[in-house]
């Protein structure tokens, strides 16, 4: 399973320290955290090149949106401490017009 393999991947010292802190804060019930998120998920876009009949994207009020690049770059301080960054969502992430800049 993907998640099991993810946690078999060796962590950097920074990631390990953040993970330990995050788990401790969780056990203690902290409501204000000093740790960074262990995972980040960005829905880069809701653009899609499929037209699945069951998809709600065909609703009259559906609007195509792309996550602004500055939102992704605002999280740069998190990346060295985060164990996983996922770029997916309702749409096909590779259709984001500024994907090369994001990567």
Q: What confidence score (pLDDT) does residue 2 get? A: 60
Look up the pTM and report it: 0.75
> What range defines the domain where residue 88 resides?
2-102
User: Tens digit of pLDDT for each residue in 54-91?
Assistant: 877 767 677 889 999 999 999 999 999 999 999 887 78
| Strand ranges inside 4-65, DSSP E | 39-42
For the chain, how many structural domains are there in total?
Answer: 1
User: Tens digit of pLDDT for each residue in 22-55?
Assistant: 999 999 999 999 999 999 999 999 888 887 878 7
| Residue 3 confidence class, pLDDT cut points 50, 70, 90 | low
- Give the CB-side neighbour count of residue 103, counting CA atoms within 13 A: 8
Question: What does the DSSP assignment read for 68-96?
Answer: -HHHHHHTHHHHTT-SEEEE-SSS-GGG-
Contact 43, 89 (CB under 8 A): yes
Q: What confidence score (pLDDT) does residue 74 get? A: 96
Neighbours of 28 (CB within 10 A): 8
């Amino acid at each position: 399973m993907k998640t099991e393999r993810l946690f078999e991947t060796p962590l950097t010292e920074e990631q390990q320290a953040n993970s330990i802190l995050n788990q401790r804060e969780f056990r203690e019930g902290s409501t204000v955290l000093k740790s960074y998120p262990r995972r980040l998920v960005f829905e880069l876009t809701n653009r899609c090149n499929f037209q699945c009949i069951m998809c709600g994207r065909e609703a009259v009020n559906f609007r195509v949106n792309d996550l602004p690049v500055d939102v992704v770059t605002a999280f740069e301080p998190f990346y060295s401490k985060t164990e996983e960054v996922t770029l997916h969502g309702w749409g096909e992430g590779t259709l984001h017009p500024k994907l090369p800049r994001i990567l």
